[in-house]
Structure 1
Amino acid sequence: ALFANKAVRFDGDKQAYARPMKPVLDGLEQLGARVEYQGEEGFLPFTITPPSVEFKINNFSEKIVQIDSSSSSQFISAMLLIGSRIPGGLELKHIGDTLPSMPHIRMTMDDICKAGGVVNMTSNAMWHVKESKIALSDTVTIEPDLSNAAPFLGASLIAGGSVSIPNWPFSSTQPGGLLPGILEKMCAKVSFEKTSDDAGIMHVESDGSIKAIPYLDLSAAGEIAPSIAAILAFADGPSELHGIAHLRGHETNRLQALVNELNRVGIGAKELEDGIRIEPSNHMHGEVMETYADHRMATFAAMLGLRIENIRIKNISTTRKTIPDFPGMWHRMLE
């Protein structure tokens, strides 16, 4: 919208209306765009009017944009992606206390460089993007979404057994790339079978014994928190997940949702300032699980159902947004 030839209106569904957008819109306003809200400030729907041609040509040089991206790394990534087209380049500064999901930002930087751009991170809170012409190569390889594998990998620990995931990259900037190490902390056996120079089959085996993790920092991989929480619900002691306060602003308030659903089936859980505490229980029972129109809450509930009888899940179809046939894949895994 910053480079459009006229105003652009953005809208979405009811769930999209709940997603905070203000940080990236603040950044666009600092670059001369005008944002008009048709509803609550900082949320959809809104209209963005691009800067004048004169502003674009004369006033972008050495421009510093400052935004608070504490609630999501996506705001930093969004600004980095437009930096190469800004005359004079872009200096971007994060002014919040914390910055979640750094692997996603590094992934964005890597893609910009692969397209011919130049971006440097001079500190954990400052980036410089040089003005440059960028273009994708004729062939682009897209890694599989590793975070989507988390429920399936976790199934091997909860149910006991083995799960194999093909095409697992040996090197990845994705947050899901942290899964092997985390699963090993919970006493899973992880091994790799090389099938190409860049990827292979990851095998995860477990006898169903799960070791608690007293303190796990998931600030770099908050999107796998629901799956990790489901596994630790059956651990040999209490566990705490930290660094994920930003999950309160995802598809739903995921921290509150996780606590609600764990408590619903008799598992102890409570919100912390930046995460949740999970206390396994011997008094678990089946219930109808809410998904909050959140795909990761739906897969979380399916994982609990591997060890708790009579779990039923509302709106399992919400998983279609990331895994089109999750129910079918889940059943085939268990056959």
Structure 2
Amino acid sequence: MALPDPWPAPTPLGPVKVTLTLPGSKSLTARYFMLGAFAAGPSRLRAPLYARDTRLMMNALRTLGVRIEEVPGSGSYGPDLVIFPRLASSDYDDAARVPLAGSGTIDCGLAGTVMRFVPFLAALTPGEWTFDGDPAARLRPMGPILDTLRALGVEIRGGENGMLPFTIIGQETIAGGPVTIDASGSSQFISAAMLAGAHFSKGLKLTHEGHKVPSADHIRMTSEALRGLGVRVDDSKTLTWAVSPGNIDAFDIEIEQDLSNAGPFLAAALATHGTVTIERWPAETTQVGDRWREYLPQLGATVTLVPRPRGGQDLVVTGGETITGADIADSSELAPTLAGLLALADSPSRLTGIAHLRGHETDRLQALVTEINRLGGNARELEDGIEIIPAPLHGGVWESYEDHRMATAGAVVGLAVPEVSVVDIATTSKTLPQFPELWDRVVATAAATNRGSAE
């Protein structure tokens, strides 16, 4: 199917000034979907993310016998969800239970959380469950997930070269116990097993052997979510995570807005020398996106937390006169937005500790270097990151590679560089379907500000 014409990234004529609230966190929504499927009773997700990745997760859980109902909620971006877990015995009405088909196909799309988290539920669901996804999904590493399941005694067919497609032969119980894993390619390999570990007869003791584990914040997010639902997690030993067997409490939880997705909008403050406010920024969070408060001042921005009249706080970011280059390590999924900003900086920059981004929706390091240089920039790959040297940029086509974060990075560059066109901006629907509309809203405030100044 042919892609639509490239999206003209708008270049405002002045500083933006906007206040936003964003949809829920993809990472938290995915984890609580899985925990709801394993919980001891019905659970409620308030203000969850509605996007391609999370809809794929919902469909996958339904295929495996998890009932999910939409109910009216107070969120701005969609209804709440009630999750009825698939249990051998339960304390809720039998009519709520969905009969199992005994076999089925899980469409993973291009969602890492689906292709890596859901296989553990399938392994505990008797039947034959085939996992496949988009063509690009067949290039994403899955070997450690398959190796872990096999080490736990689960039969798997297919999965050649450690990738999709494959079929899991589900069973009633998994003994669990100690397992060694190489999770240097993705922290999701660890989180996936941890989310199911409490349902193994002996729990789970997972030990990493290999290079550095990336995105440690995401593992901490998993640990804290489990602890919050009554599961005992011991992560006191370096590179070892132990999950004790037991029940996962049912829950009623509001999902925080996605702080990683806040990044491109906050970047607009720096790229246009304006001000962007994100309402209700959490005081405490396990989201990696909270690091924007640390990173953006290094690039010359002023970052302030402002108390709200009725409690809570807003994050206010104001761009400086220029964007300052920086050396930033371990920026994880924030790296593409940072790279877009640093391509506009007045001094050299390095993003390191992100070698694992080669195994995401695309090889993000190669893609970022290619697209920055296509517009006249001076970027090069490092062993574990990229280096960007200041160079004047010009307009042109910015490829997205079916990667939502590549698409939004191109939009950030377009804020300061006229006539940048992003291929397949619709790929942002993976985690933020409203991106084009929200982006237009941000850019429109620059025109309004200029009119106000003229008057």
The normalised TM-score by structure 1 is: 0.93
Q: Which has the higher contact order (CA 8 A, sep 6+)?
A: 2
1:217 match: 329
C-alpha deviation, 1:184, in angstroms: 0.9
Matched, 1:200 2:310: no
2:426 match: 317
1:301 match: 410
- Matched residues in 2 for 1:331 and 1:98: separation? 39
Q: Is the 8 A contact 1:188 1:205 kept in 2?
A: yes
- Matched residues in 2 for 1:128 and 1:333: separation? 45
2:352 match: 242
1:18 match: 139
Q: Is the 8 A contact 1:17 1:45 kept in 2?
A: yes
Secondary structure class of the residue paired with 1:167: coil
Matched, 1:84 2:201: no
Secondary structure class of the residue paired with 1:305: helix
2:186 match: 72
C-alpha deviation, 1:200, in angstroms: 1.8
Q: Is the 8 A contact 1:115 1:135 kept in 2?
A: yes
Relative to structure 1, the CA distance from residue 52 to residue 201 in structure 2 (aligned partners, 3 Å threshold; closer, same or farther) is: closer
- Matched residues in 2 for 1:229 and 1:198: separation? 34
Counterpart of 1:231 (choices 335, 341, 350) is 341
- Matched residues in 2 for 1:179 and 1:207: separation? 15
C-alpha deviation, 1:3, in angstroms: 1.0
Counterpart of 1:156 (choices 241, 249, 269) is 269
Q: Which amino acid aligns with 2:348?
A: P
1:46 match: 166
**Aligned ranges 1:178-193 → 2 under 5 Å:** 178-193=291-306
Q: Is the 8 A contact 1:2 1:33 kept in 2?
A: yes
Secondary structure class of the residue paired with 2:241: strand
Q: Is the 8 A contact 1:25 1:42 kept in 2?
A: yes
Q: Is the 8 A contact 2:260 2:334 kept in 1?
A: yes
- Higher mean displacement: 22-31 or 8-17: 8-17
- Matched residues in 2 for 1:184 and 1:207: separation? 9
Q: Is the 8 A contact 2:127 2:171 kept in 1?
A: no
C-alpha deviation, 1:196, in angstroms: 7.5
C-alpha deviation, 1:24, in angstroms: 1.2
- Matched residues in 2 for 1:13 and 1:64: separation? 33
- Matched residues in 2 for 1:196 and 1:91: separation? 46
Cα RMSD over matched residues? Answer: 1.5
1:118 match: 232
C-alpha deviation, 1:198, in angstroms: 7.2
Q: Is the 8 A contact 1:32 1:51 kept in 2?
A: no
- Matched residues in 2 for 1:40 and 1:5: separation? 23
- Matched residues in 2 for 1:22 and 1:196: separation? 50
C-alpha deviation, 1:50, in angstroms: 3.2
Q: Is the 8 A contact 2:340 2:413 kept in 1?
A: yes
Secondary structure class of the residue paired with 2:186: coil
1:103 match: 217
1:300-324 deviation digits (Å, cap 9, x = unpaired): 0011011111101111110111111
- Matched residues in 1 for 2:186 and 2:280: separation? 28
C-alpha deviation, 1:197, in angstroms: 8.2
Q: Which amino acid aligns with 1:26?
A: D
1:5 match: 126
Q: Is the 8 A contact 2:184 2:211 kept in 1?
A: yes
Q: Is the 8 A contact 1:158 1:303 kept in 2?
A: yes
C-alpha deviation, 1:78, in angstroms: 0.4
- Matched residues in 1 for 2:192 and 2:310: separation? 31
Q: Which amino acid aligns with 2:126?
A: N
1:68-119 deviation digits (Å, cap 9, x = unpaired): 1111101100011111011121110011211111111011011111111011
Q: Is the 8 A contact 1:168 1:200 kept in 2?
A: yes
- Higher mean displacement: 185-194 or 266-275: 185-194
Secondary structure class of the residue paired with 1:168: coil
Relative to structure 1, the CA distance from residue 197 to residue 11 in structure 2 (aligned partners, 3 Å threshold; closer, same or farther) is: farther
Runs ≥4 in structure 1, deviation > 3 angstroms? 50-53, 196-199
- Matched residues in 1 for 2:172 and 2:286: separation? 37
Q: Is the 8 A contact 2:268 2:415 kept in 1?
A: yes
The normalised TM-score by structure 2 is: 0.69
Q: Is the 8 A contact 2:273 2:320 kept in 1?
A: yes
Q: Among the aligned pairs, what percent are the same residue? A: 44
- Matched residues in 1 for 2:369 and 2:262: separation? 23
Secondary structure class of the residue paired with 2:247: coil
Q: Is the 8 A contact 1:122 1:128 kept in 2?
A: no
2:95 match: none
- Matched residues in 2 for 1:196 and 1:135: separation? 34
1:113-147 deviation digits (Å, cap 9, x = unpaired): 1111011113231011111111232x112111100
- Matched residues in 1 for 2:315 and 2:244: separation? 38
2:390 match: 280
Matched, 1:269 2:379: yes
Secondary structure class of the residue paired with 1:35: strand
Q: Is the 8 A contact 2:306 2:315 kept in 1?
A: yes
